[in-house]
Amino acid sequence: MPSAQTAAGKVLWHFTMSLDGFVAGPDHAMDWMAGTSFRPGLEEEYAGTTGAVLGGRDGWDAFPDTSGIYGGRWKGPVFVLTNHPEDARPADGVTFLCCDVAEAVRIGLDAADGGNLEVLSASIGRQLLQRGLIDEIALHVAPVLLGDGIRLFDNPGGAPVRLELLGGADPSAAVDVRYRPVADG
Ligand SMILES: NC(=O)c1ccc[n+]([C@@H]2O[C@H](COP(=O)([O-])OP(=O)(O)OC[C@H]3O[C@@H](n4cnc5c(N)ncnc54)[C@H](OP(=O)(O)O)[C@@H]3O)[C@@H](O)[C@H]2O)c1
C-alpha cells in the first residue's frame, strides 16, 4: 500500500475506478460505486490534503453539487473548465473557467495554497498528462467490472504512457489482485 497522501502543491489525478478502468458508467452513472468500502481514514486523508478541485463541465452538469466531496468533509475552491461558462448556473465556491488547461492548473494551484489540486475529470487529466502537468495519479480500484462508460484514460491510437509505482521497492512492479465474481452480483 502506498504511504499516506501528502499536501505538497501536487497536481493529483484522483479517482475511484472500476477494475476495468472506468471512472463513470454510461451517462455519467455513479451507482456502480455503491457498496464499495474504502479503507478507514481515506476520506479524511484526502480532505486534509486537497487545496482545490478542478473538474470538467460534463461531470459538473451530471452532479452540480460540491457538498459530497470527501463525504462532506472537504470545503474549498472548485474550478470547472468549460467552453461555455455563460450558461452555467452559479454555485457557491465554484468558479467556471474558460481558458487553456495549463492556465486552469495555474489558477487552481494558486487557490490550493500549498494543498494539492485534485483533478476530478478524465478528459482534463488526459490533457494534462499529455502536457506533462500531472504530478501523481491516485486510484482506488473498486471490485466491479463495468464494461462501458467513461474511461480513466481514453486515448485510442496513442502510445502507452509509462508510470512508476509509488510506495514500493520496485517502481516497475505489477500489482497483484485476486477477485471472484459475486454469485448474484
Ligand atoms: N470515479 C470517481 O471517483 C469520480 C470522481 C469525480 C467525478 N467522476 C465522474 O467522472 C466523469 C468525468 O467525465 P469526463 O472526464 O468525460 O468529463 P468532464 O471532464 O467532466 O467534462 C468534459 C467537458 O469539460 C469541458 N472541458 C474539458 N476540457 C476543456 C478545456 N481544455 N477547455 C474548455 N473546456 C473543457 C468540455 O465541456 P464544454 O465544451 O461543454 O464546456 C468537455 O466536454 C464524470 O461523470 C464525473 O461525474 C468520477
Cell 480500484 belongs to which residue? 141
Q: Please state the atom number of ligand 1 nearest to the C-alpha of residue 150.
A: 16
pLDDT on residue 137 = 98
Domain boundaries, the chain: 63-150
The set of cell numbers assigned to 71 is 463525504
The set of cell numbers assigned to 166 is 509509488
Q: Please state the atom number of ligand 1 nearest to the C-alpha of residue 101.
A: 31
Quick: pLDDT tens for 140-175: 999 999 999 999 999 999 999 999 999 888 999 999
80 C-beta closer than 6 A to ligand 1: no
pLDDT on residue 181 = 97
Q: What is the pTM of this model?
A: 0.97
Whether the pLDDT of residue 118 is over 90: the answer is yes
Q: Are 53 and 120 in contact (CB under 8 A)?
A: yes
Task: Say whether 170 sits in a helix, a strand or coil.
Answer: coil
Whether the pLDDT of residue 117 is over 80: the answer is yes
As a whole number of angstroms, the distance between CA 60 and CA 128 comes to 19
Where does residue 147 fall: left (phi above 0), alpha (psi -120 to 50 degrees), or beta otherwise? Answer: left
Mean of the per-residue pLDDT values of the chain: 96
Cα–Cα distances in angstroms (integers) from residue 24 to residues 65, 107, 126, 146, 185, in the given order: 17, 26, 15, 9, 18
Where does residue 19 fall: left (phi above 0), alpha (psi -120 to 50 degrees), or beta otherwise? Answer: alpha
Q: Please state the atom number of ligand 1 nearest to the C-alpha of residue 125.
A: 15
Choose which residue among 81, 99, 127, 152 to substitute to test ligand 1 binding: the one with the highest number of ligand atoms within 8 A of its C-beta.
81
128 C-beta closer than 6 A to ligand 1: no
Whether the pLDDT of residue 104 is over 80: the answer is yes
pLDDT on residue 49 = 98
Whether the pLDDT of residue 120 is over 90: the answer is yes
Q: What is the mean predicted confidence (pLDDT) over 65-71?
A: 93
Q: What is the mean predicted confidence (pLDDT) over 48-69?
A: 96
CA of 110 to the centre of ligand 1 (A): 21
Q: What is the mean predicted confidence (pLDDT) over 107-130?
A: 98
Instruction: Tell me which residue of 166, 132, 122, 148 sits closest to 16, measured CA to CA.
Output: 122
Q: What is the mean predicted confidence (pLDDT) over 52-79?
A: 96
Q: What is the mean predicted confidence (pLDDT) over 95-105?
A: 98
Q: What is the mean predicted confidence (pLDDT) over 119-129?
A: 98
